[in-house]
Each structure stands twice: as C-alpha cells, then as structure tokens.
C-alpha cells in the first residue's frame, strides 16, 4: 500500500508541473484526497482497538508523507505536552498552553530565519493544530478535578476528563488520520466517543450526500484559486499604479483581493471538512423528529462569512474550530464570563490577550501583529456599536445591506493585507498607499467612543420597559 502511494504521488507531481501549483501545496492536496477512502474505512472497522491502531499508524504515515523528517518536531510537541500534564496534573492548563505554544514559536522562528516571506507549508502548519489539541486536552483534564464539580459552565462539564487517558490514546487523538495534517481541531471527548462508537456515533448514516456538496464547493474554490486569484494579486497594493488610483478603487480592490485569497483557504477547509465527514466524526444525531441529520459537530469554516455584516458572526464563521479553541481555551480561561460582566476593562484585556495569542499562534512575521492588533481594536469598536445598535434602526432596512456589507468588509479586510504581505516595511507601504484609512478611522472611533455618552448607553432591558409602560398607564 505504501509503495502504491509513493508511485501515485510521483504521477501526481508530474501533473503538478502542468498546473503550476507550488509543490508543497499540491502535495497537501494529494494527501487530503488520498485520505478520503482512508477516513471512510472507519465505517467497516468495528473493533475499538483496531480503530485506534489504524488511526495512529495511518496518521503517522500521512505525517511522514507530507513532512518527512520534519514530523519529529510535532512529535516532540505532543510528547512534551503529555509530560507537562504528568508533572502539573490538574493544574496543567496554562503550563501545557505555554509549552506547546513556545515549541510552535521555535518552529515559526526557524521559518522566519530560513524561509522569510515564503508561504511554503512545513510542519508548523500541522503543529498549529497540535497546539490546539494539546491545550484542549490539558484544560479538559484540569476541569476533571473533583473539587471543581458543579462549578463550571456546560461546555467544560461536557468535555472534562475525570481520568488521564493513556499516552497511546493521546497519540491516537493527536494523530487521528482525518485531522492529522491541517485539522480541524476537536475535543478528546468527540474523538474517544467516535472511536468507541457510542452516543451519536453508534449508528452513523451515509455521508455521501454531504460529501458530494463539499466536493462541489471544493471544485468551485479550486476554480477561483486557479483562474481568479492570479488576476487579483494582493501584492498589487504595493505598486505605484495602485497608489495613484482613486480611494474608492483601492477600497474595492482590497475587498476583492481579500475574498479571492480566502478562497484558497476555503479550498483547504473544505478538503478537511470532507475528510471528517467521510470518517463520521462530524455527525450530529437529530434530537427530535423534525430535525434532520447534521454534519456540523466539527466545522472548519462557513463560507457565509463572506455575506455576513455582523462582525461577531464573521469571527465565528472563519476557521471555526480554531475560533472555538480561542474562545473556550484562551479567552474564557483568561477571564470568566462573570468577571467580564462585572468589569469592561477585564473584558477588553481578555479580548486583546486573545488576539495577541492568535498572532503568536500564526507565526512571527510583523504583518501578523499589525493585522491582529488592528483587528483587536476593530473588534472592540464593533462591540461598542453593537451595544447601541437600536439607535441605528433607520439603516436596518435591507436596502442598506450592500452599503453596510461594503463598509464592514472593507475595514475587516483592511487588516488582512498586512497578514498576507508578512513584511513590516511592505505593510507600512501598503498603508501609506491607502492613507492609513483603516487604522485612522478605527482608532478615531475607538477613542472617541470613550468620550461620547452615546456609546456608554445600554439598550433598555425588557423589565425596565415594562416598568415604564406600567407607570405610563
């Protein structure tokens, strides 16, 4: 089987030269497609121990096929995080997060020193998902502390680990073949329930209809990546021709190129989603007779991101599994919901901390930090507008949707360009070409909102409205 894969890989790389896609990107596409039948094989493997062994062995093989000797950096992260858990036991949460993130940062540093400005796919791509899994695993074990029983939110109660799983099971979880290369991230509880075929996974229906939908979406994004993206190069924002264009053209181009670039990411997301769909681990059993089968237990992303004008929704829809990781294992670990309700300052600190951690998780390029600091202020500004949204009912009519879509996406996408450019000097040049439109507007509104009473007003609660109505009567 291994020989057939290697031979088939050589044939595919021959085709790659005709297409002109970078070798490592084509290699990723090849491995994700090869994983389809391997993931579907879980339907026919009913013995739990064989399922575990099969997942681990094939997952390791796919890692080697993609990263060769680079996979040992990922293995070091996985084994090291388990040792940290053994050392700190129920207090391991932040220690696992720190160790795994620092290990990932060492790989990111190596990329900056040896492949600066390159978008090649190395082991750090896979290690980003390993960090998510290791952190989730560590915090869930920490939540299993008997002294915390009955003191946690529903999500923590559902995913807590009362006993530490064996190293073998932890390795099988990290190298789960359907998510071993680019994710999506998922909890250990979902993994172990799937392996034991219990709960929703006791009887998984045919995934082919949903898989077919994902294949069609993948083909669409392949088309955009091959034929549209080359016509909208994001590096055009550095050209003299772009600098001399009108401000409206620049705004439209920022939106267009950002959407085109994200289609390349959607391509990877849909391939990953197709894999977990064929395996069955994304299945959700209907709770009632009126509900239908769902394949969204674990989600890579939602393309509805592009149509939404709600910033909170946009954050939730993009790279969904990582957003949930940031929310439940970074944001809400930094400060509880109760703490943030009592203190707006604490909520702001948690927000900025999460954006900085997300930037570190992505890498060490200066462009990432410009992007995430900008998005942090943008997110805070939108939160302030959300609280007083009832004062803007005049523009809530659907006729205003195109205008609101253009404005919201413009300021959101403005931060995406430094993210793609990576380099600090090039990012500042891009901002200079656009008269620093995004940062100036967002920072102006952000600091102004602290001075204007309008932004400090909350929407009246239902109880207060009832009281006022009674008094009026």
Contacts of 129 by beta carbon, 8 Å cutoff, 6+ apart: 179, 182, 183, 184, 185
- What stretches of 318-391 show up as alpha helix (H) in DSSP? 320-326, 332-334, 337-342, 344-362, 366-387
How confident is the model at residue 16, as a pLDDT?
61
d(CA 96, CA 84): 6
Res. 271: pLDDT tops 70: yes
Cβ atoms of 133 and 113 within 8 Å: the answer is no
How confident is the model at residue 462, as a pLDDT?
45
Q: Quick one: tokens of 385?
A: 């507008």
Confidence category of residue 471, pLDDT binned at 50, 70, 90: very low
How confident is the model at residue 209, as a pLDDT?
95
Write out pLDDT tens, residues 163-195: 999 999 999 999 999 999 999 999 999 999 999
**Comparing 11-20, 152-161, 180-189, 407-416, which segment has the lowest mean pLDDT?**
11-20
DSSP string, 184-201: ----HHHHHHHHTT-GGG
Angle in degrees, CA 366, 372, 377, rounded to 5: 130
d(CA 233, CA 228): 9
Cβ atoms of 355 and 375 within 8 Å: the answer is yes
Query: Can you tell me the mean pLDDT for 132-136?
Result: 97
Chain-centroid distance of CA 360 in Å reads 14
Query: Can you tell me the mean pLDDT for 391-417?
Result: 81
Res. 374: pLDDT tops 90: yes
d(CA 118, CA 389): 42
d(CA 125, CA 122): 6
Write out pLDDT tens, residues 219-249: 999 999 989 999 999 999 999 999 999 999 9
Confidence category of residue 464, pLDDT binned at 50, 70, 90: very low
Mean pLDDT of the residues in the chain: 88
Write out pLDDT tens, residues 411-450: 999 999 999 999 999 999 999 999 999 999 999 888 887 7
Write out pLDDT tens, residues 335-366: 988 888 888 889 889 988 998 999 999 999 99
Query: Can you tell me the mean pLDDT for 31-58?
Result: 95
Query: Can you tell me the mean pLDDT for 52-81?
Result: 94
How confident is the model at residue 363, as a pLDDT?
95
Query: Can you tell me the mean pLDDT for 202-221?
Result: 95
Write out pLDDT tens, residues 280-314: 999 999 987 778 889 999 998 887 888 888 888 88
DSSP bridge pairs for 294: 284
Write out pLDDT tens, residues 86-130: 999 999 999 999 999 999 999 999 999 998 888 888 999 999 999
**Comparing 89-98, 215-224, 314-323, 384-393, which segment has the lowest mean pLDDT?**
384-393
How confident is the model at residue 80, as a pLDDT?
98
Res. 51: pLDDT tops 60: yes
First-to-last CA distance in the chain? 80
Higher pLDDT, 151 or 209: 209
Confidence category of residue 391, pLDDT binned at 50, 70, 90: low
């Amino acid at each position: 089987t291994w020989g057939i894969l290697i031979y088939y890989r050589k044939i595919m790389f021959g085709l790659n030269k005709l297409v002109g896609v970078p070798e490592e990107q084509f290699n990723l596409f090849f491995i994700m497609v090869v994983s389809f039948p391997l993931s579907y094989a879980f339907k026919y493997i009913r013995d739990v121990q064989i399922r575990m062994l099969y997942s681990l062995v094939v997952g390791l093989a796919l890692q080697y096929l993609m990263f060769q000797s680079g996979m040992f950096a990922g293995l070091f992260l996985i084994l090291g995080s388990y040792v940290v858990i053994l050392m700190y036991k129920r207090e391991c949460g932040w220690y696992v997060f720190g160790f795994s993130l620092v290990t990932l940062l060492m790989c990111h540093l190596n990329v900056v020193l040896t492949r600066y400005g390159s978008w090649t796919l190395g082991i750090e791509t896979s290690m980003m998902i390993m960090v998510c899994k290791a952190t989730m695993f560590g915090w869930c074990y920490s939540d299993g502390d008997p002294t915390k029983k009955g003191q946690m939110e529903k999500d923590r109660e559902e995913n807590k680990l009362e006993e530490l799983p064996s190293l073998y099971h932890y390795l099988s979880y990290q190298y789960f073949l359907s998510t071993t290369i680019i994710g999506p991230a998922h909890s250990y509880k979902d993994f172990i329930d799937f392996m034991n075929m219990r709960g929703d996974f006791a009887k998984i229906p045919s995934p082919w209809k949903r898989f077919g939908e994902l294949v069609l979406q993948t083909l669409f994004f392949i088309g955009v990546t091959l034929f549209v993206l080359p016509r909208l190069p994001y590096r055009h924002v550095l050209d003299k021709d772009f600098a001399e264009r009108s401000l409206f053209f620049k705004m439209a181009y920022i939106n267009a190129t950002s959407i085109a670039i994200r289609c390349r990411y959607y391509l990877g997301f849909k391939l990953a989603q197709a894999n977990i769909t064929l395996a069955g681990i994304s299945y959700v059993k209907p709770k009632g007779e009126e509900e239908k089968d769902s394949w969204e237990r674990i989600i890579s992303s939602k393309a509805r991101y592009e149509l939404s004008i709600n910033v909170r929704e946009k954050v939730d829809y993009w790279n969904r599994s990582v957003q949930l990781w940031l929310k439940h294992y970074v944001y809400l670990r930094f400060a509880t919901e109760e703490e943030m309700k009592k203190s707006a300052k604490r909520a702001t600190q948690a927000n900025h901390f999460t954006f900085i951690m997300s930037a570190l998780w992505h890498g060490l390029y200066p462009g990432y930090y410009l992007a995430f600091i900008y998005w942090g202020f943008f997110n805070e500004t939108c939160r302030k507008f959300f609280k007083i949204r009832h004062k803007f009912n005049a523009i809530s009519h659907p006729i205003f949707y195109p205008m609101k879509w253009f404005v919201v996406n413009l300021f959101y996408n403005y931060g995406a360009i430094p993210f793609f450019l990576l380099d600090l000097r090039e990012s500042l040049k891009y901002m200079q070409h656009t008269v620093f439109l995004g940062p100036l507007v967002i920072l102006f509104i952000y600091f102004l909102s602290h001075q204007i009473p309008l932004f400090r007003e909350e929407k009246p609660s239902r109880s207060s409205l009832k009281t006022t109505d009674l008094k009026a009567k």
